[in-house]
Amino acid sequence: MVRSWHRSRIVRPVSADNIASAAATFCATLVDEWVSAGLRHAIVAPGSRSTPLAVALVADRRVSVEIVHDERAAAFMALGAGVDGTPAILVCTSGTAAANFLPAVVEAGLSDVPMLVCTADRPPELRGVGAPQTIDQIGLYGGSVRWFHDAPVPSDADPTGWRRLARSAWKVARTGPVHLNLPFREPLLGRPDELPVPDGDDVVDEVGDIVAATMVSDPVPELPGGPGVVLVGGRHGCDPADIMALAESLGWPVLADPLAGLHGDERVVRHADTVLRVSAVASRLAPASVIRIGRPHASRVVATWIRNSGAPVVQVGGPGRIDPDHNVVAHASLAAVVAAAAQRPTADPQWCADWVQTEATAADAISRLLNGPELTEPTVARMVADHLGSDSRLVVSSSMPVRDLEWFGGAAARAWSNRGANGIDGVMSTAVGLALDGDPVVVLIGDVAFVHDANALVALTQRNTDVRIVVVDNDGGGIFSFLPQASQLDDRAFEQIFGTPHGTDVLALAAAHHIPTVDIADRAGLKAQLGRRGPWVARVRSSRRRNVDVHRRIVDTVAERLA
C-alpha cells in the first residue's frame, strides 16, 4: 500500500520498517526540496551511518553525486563547487569523518562560500556512552558556520516540518556554510513513503535574522580631501563596471589583484607590489584616502604602504570584518560610497596620470624580463595567465603562486584562491569542485601544497572533469626563503624547519593514480601543455635559492627604470 503524508496522519507502532522508512522519506524530502531550490552537486564521503541521505541523493537523478574517499578532499571539493553561489551538499558518516571537514568549512566561512554540510550522527541514546564511531558533533564547526541545527531522529509522527527545515538550511547556506547534524537509528536502509506535499511556507524568524545580519553596513563618513586609491581584491560581490565608474568619478587609480575580476582599463594598476618597493615612488604616491573593495591583496608591501600612509580606509564588501591594521573607519555598500564620493571634487588628473605612467613603466620592464628563455617561477605565473582559455578557470595555491600571479601575472591574470584562512590545503580538491560544471580548470600549485592535497587525485580520471595541474617543484616551502628566517637562521636549521624538502616525486605520485604526467623544461612546452584537455599533471622544476634571486632582479630592474 502506498502511504501519503497528511497533517492528521495516524502514527504507526514503532518497528524496524517504520524507522527505516521514516529516515528514507525524511532524506528524500530534504533532497526534493533542495533540488527545487537549485541543488546541482552532492559530494559524499562514504560511510554507513549516512546511508539514508546518500541513497536519497543517488536516487534523485537530478543531482550529480561525487563519491570522494577522503573527507578533507571532499569538503574542499564542495567548497569549489559552491564558489559561484550555489551550495553543494556535503555528506559524511558519524565520528572523525565530520572533523575532517573542518578546514574547508573554516575557509568557506571566511570566504562567504555557500555550503550545506550534512553530518550523520548516532541517535541521542548512543551519544556519550562509548558507542563506536561516535564523537560530540554538536556545534562541531563553531562560529565558522552561519547556522547549526541538530535535527531530531526522523519519525513519521510529524513530517510537516521537514520541507521547512530544508528551506531554512538552503536559504542560510547561500550566504555561507550551514551545518545540519542528522541522527539516524538502525536499520539505515529503507524505502521512502510518498513525500509530504510542498507547503510553500516562507522561511522567516531565526533564518531571516541570520540572512539580514549579513547585510548591515555603517554610514560612510565624509572622505578626507586629497587624492586616494581604490583597492580591489576578491569576494567583493560588486559589479566591475560600477567599481570603475566610482574610480573615474573620484579621479583615482584602481589597484586590483587577480582575484578581483577587473580587466581592460588603463586606470587599473596590477604591479603595485613591485613599484611600491621603490621608496621614492611609495612616498610620492601615498594616498590620503583608501576605498578597499573586497579582500586585501596578498602583498604585504601594499598593506604596509597603506598602514604607513595613515590614510583612513572605507571597506566595501568582502566576507566578514576586514580590518587587520585597525584603520577601517566604515564598512559600507558600494552604493553608499558612490553617494559619498559624489559630494567631493574629482582629484587632480595628474594624480591618476602618475599612477598610469608608473604602472606602464613597471609593466614594460617586467614583461621584458619574463619574455626571456628561462622558465622561472614568475614566468610560469605569467604564461599560465596569458594562455588561460576564455572558457577556463584558474585556481592558485595560497602561497607563492598567488603572489607570483598578483605581482607578475599582468593584465590577463584572473583566478580563484582560498584566501579566507590563506591555507595551502585543499587547492586541487577546490579545483575539482569548480570543474564539476564542465569548464576547464587550470591549477597553479607548489609541490608542498600538491603533496598536501594528494588525495584529490584519487579517482580523478573517473570524474568528468577537465583539471590541468601545473606543479612548480622546488622541493620544499619556497615562500619561506623570502622571510627573515632565511637570513637569520643557519642553513641546516632553516632547511629543517622551513625549507622542509620532502623528496616526493610528484609525477610518480600522479602516475600512481593513472593520471597522465609530463616534465616541462621550456616556454614552448608549457604553452603547448596548457592547451591540452585534462586531467594531467605537469611539473616545472625550480630552485628556491634561484627563485629569490629572480625576484630580486625583477624588483631592482623596475626600480632602475622608475628612477
| Residue 299 CB partners (closer than 8 Å, separation 6+) | 257, 272, 273, 403, 406, 407
pLDDT at 482: 76
Compute how many other C-beta atoms are within 10 angstroms of the C-beta atom of residue 216. Answer: 8
Distances (CA, A) of 190 to 17, 43, 64, 509: 7, 22, 22, 41
Query: Cell 541514546 appears where?
Result: 125
pLDDT at 5: 38
Please provide residue 195's backbone torsions phi and psi, each rounded to the nearest 5 degrees: -75, 150
pLDDT at 3: 35
Relative orientation angle of helices 16-37 and 51-59, to the nearest 10 degrees = 50
pLDDT at 10: 37
- 3-state percent helix, strand, coil for the chain, nearest multiple of 5: 45, 15, 40
Q: What is the pLDDT along the chain (563 residues), one digit of tens a residue?
A: 333 333 333 334 568 889 999 999 999 999 999 999 999 999 999 999 999 999 999 999 999 999 999 999 999 999 999 999 999 999 999 999 999 999 999 999 999 999 999 999 999 999 999 999 999 999 999 999 999 999 999 987 778 899 999 999 999 999 999 999 999 999 999 999 999 998 866 655 556 566 555 555 566 667 767 899 999 999 999 999 999 999 999 999 999 999 999 977 889 999 999 999 999 999 999 999 999 999 999 999 999 999 999 999 999 988 888 999 999 998 999 999 998 888 888 899 999 999 999 999 999 999 999 999 999 999 999 999 999 999 999 999 999 999 999 999 999 999 999 999 999 999 999 999 999 999 999 999 999 999 999 999 999 999 999 999 999 999 988 887 777 887 788 888 878 888 888 999 999 999 999 999 999 999 999 999 999 999 999 999 999 999 999 999 999 999 999 98
| Residue 406 CB partners (closer than 8 Å, separation 6+) | 257, 258, 273, 297, 298, 299, 413
Burial class (CB in 10 A: 0-12, 13-18, 19+), 383: buried
- Is the CB of residue 517 less than 8 Å from the CB of residue 510? yes
Distance in angstroms (rounded) separating the CA atoms of residues 159 and 466: 42
- Strands (E) in 414-466, as ranges, are 441-446
Closest CA to 320 of 205, 174, 171, 215: 215
pLDDT at 202: 64
| Residue 149 CB partners (closer than 8 Å, separation 6+) | 165, 168, 169, 178, 179, 180, 181
Domains of the chain listed by start with CATH number: 16-200 (3.40.50.970), 228-353 (3.40.50.1220), 371-562 (3.40.50.970)
- Is the CB of residue 286 less than 8 Å from the CB of residue 292? no
